[in-house]
């Protein structure tokens, strides 16, 4: 289930005044919105029909019709389940924890499926396929995802080099070839290391792809291709469990896009690699 209310809340502070009026009306009257004509929503939020349609696309949906459908699903689920997504280790039973972890993860994947820009993913795969070298950078939990992506690309003979060390990455960028690519994997896009790396890549003219959950970060604005995943709010967000899984899924899809670009040779390479290791 796509969480309309969650996506609105996450983007609220970065919205234009017009978008904020629409957002506030929807947050305060979700049950009314699902049955309102577009003109009524526009009138109550002092905006326009076109602004309502643009708003729906702003949060990752095709239009107001899809927004209403997803919002109705969300309100129905909340009413039916009446279960908090917050994990309370002292109060929750093992069954509660199991349900919440799975539901939070499924929610994150469903939201990411809705908001991710597939055209940008295809463009990213094309650049990685054509690159002489792909430099992958990630820190913290994203480092594990970056290392996994490096290993995947090696299986199809892509020159991929992962590092979580800022200075090593900077050295590689300084010596980069014209067709090299930088692939940054980050949650917030706000860490100083990530910002410095992306800015250096831009200064040097290195094609930069970023996978992030923060649509307004400095790092994203300075990247050539930005792939956005959802940001889920729970009391255990510092563990980044749902975000890490969303990152892994997107990297899996990106890897298969690369394989598609490479053609039948990629399939044969994977088979040969499997035979050699088993």
CATH number (domain holding residue 172): 3.40.50.10490
Q: Encoding tokens for residue 73?
A: 């699903």
Mean pLDDT (whole number) for 108-129: 90
- In sequence order, the 6+-apart residues with CB closer than 8 A to the CB of 195 are 189, 218, 219, 222
Q: Are residues 63 and 185 in the same domain?
A: no
Q: Are residues 74 and 169 in the same domain?
A: no
Q: Which of 107, 69, 67 is nearest to 85 (CA)?
A: 107
Total domains in the fold of the chain: 2
Q: Are residues 142 and 246 in the same domain?
A: yes
Q: What sign does the CA torsion over 230, 235, 238, 240 have? A: negative
Candidate from 11-25, 47-61, 121-135, 255-269 with smallest mean pLDDT? 255-269
Residue 10 domain flag: yes
- In sequence order, the 6+-apart residues with CB closer than 8 A to the CB of 73 are 1, 2
pLDDT band at 25 (very low <50, low <70, confident <90, very high): very high
Identify the pLDDT of residue 4: 87
Q: What are phi and psi of 209, to 5 degrees?
A: -115, 130
pLDDT reading at 236 higher than 50: no
Residue 90 domain flag: no
pLDDT band at 234 (very low <50, low <70, confident <90, very high): very low
Residue 186 domain flag: yes
Q: What is the average pLDDT value for the chain, to the nearest integer? A: 86
Candidate from 7-16, 37-46, 226-235 with smallest mean pLDDT? 226-235
Q: Are residues 53 and 181 in the same domain?
A: no
- In sequence order, the 6+-apart residues with CB closer than 8 A to the CB of 99 are 83
Residue 101 domain flag: no
Q: Are residues 139 and 72 in the same domain?
A: no
User: Which of 36, 64, 82 marks a domain boundary?
Assistant: 82
pLDDT band at 272 (very low <50, low <70, confident <90, very high): low
Residue 181 domain flag: yes
User: Which of 82, 107, 132 marks a domain boundary?
Assistant: 82
Q: Are residues 51 and 143 in the same domain?
A: no
pLDDT tens readout for residues 86-115: 778 888 889 988 888 888 888 788 878 878
Local structure of 162: helix, strand or coil: strand
Q: Are residues 136 and 252 in the same domain?
A: yes
pLDDT reading at 79 higher than 80: no
User: Which of 82, 101, 126 marks a domain boundary?
Assistant: 82
CATH number for the domain spanning 53: value is 1.10.10.10
Q: Are residues 127 and 66 in the same domain?
A: no
Q: Are residues 256 and 171 in the same domain?
A: yes
Q: Are residues 131 and 242 in the same domain?
A: yes
Residue 92 domain flag: no
Q: Are residues 265 and 129 in the same domain?
A: yes
CA distances from 258 to 13, 138, 157, 174, 242 (A): 36, 20, 11, 25, 25
Q: Are residues 145 and 244 in the same domain?
A: yes
DSSP string for 229-275:
------TTGGG-HHHHHHHHHHHHHHHHHHHHHHTHHHHHHHHHHHH
Residue 53 domain flag: yes
pLDDT reading at 224 higher than 90: yes
pLDDT tens readout for residues 157-192: 999 999 999 999 999 999 999 999 999 999 876 788
Residue 9 domain flag: yes
The boundaries of the domain holding residue 25 are: 4-82
């Amino acid at each position: 289930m796509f969480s309309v209310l969650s996506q609105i809340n996450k983007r609220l502070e970065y919205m234009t005044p017009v978008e904020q009026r629409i957002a506030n009306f929807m947050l305060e009257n979700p049950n009314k919105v699902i049955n309102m004509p577009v003109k009524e929503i526009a009138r109550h939020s002092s905006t326009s029909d076109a602004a309502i349609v643009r708003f729906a696309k702003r949060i990752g949906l095709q239009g107001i019709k899809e927004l209403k459908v997803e919002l109705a699903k969300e309100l129905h689920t909340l009413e039916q389940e009446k279960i908090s997504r917050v994990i309370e280790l002292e109060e929750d039973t093992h069954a509660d924890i199991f349900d919440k972890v799975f539901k939070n993860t499924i929610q994150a994947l469903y939201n990411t499926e809705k908001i991710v820009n597939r055209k940008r993913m295809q463009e990213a795969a094309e650049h990685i396929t054509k690159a002489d070298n792909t430099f992958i950078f990630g820190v913290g939990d994203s480092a594990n995802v970056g290392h996994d992506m490096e290993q995947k690309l090696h299986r199809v003979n892509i020159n991929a080099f992962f590092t979580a060390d800022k200075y090593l990455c900077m050295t590689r960028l300084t010596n980069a070839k014209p067709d090299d690519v930088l692939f940054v994997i980050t949650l917030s896009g706000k860490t100083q290391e990530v910002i410095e790396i992306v800015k250096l890549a831009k200064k040097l003219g290195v094609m930069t792809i970023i996978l992030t959950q923060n649509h307004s970060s400095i790092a994203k604005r300075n990247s050539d291709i930005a792939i956005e995943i959802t940001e889920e709010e729970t009391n255990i967000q510092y563990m980044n469990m749902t975000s890490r899984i969303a990152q892994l899924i997107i990297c899996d899809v990106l890897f298969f896009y690369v394989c598609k670009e490479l053609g039948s040779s990629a399939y044969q390479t994977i088979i040969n690699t499997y035979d050699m290791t088993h």
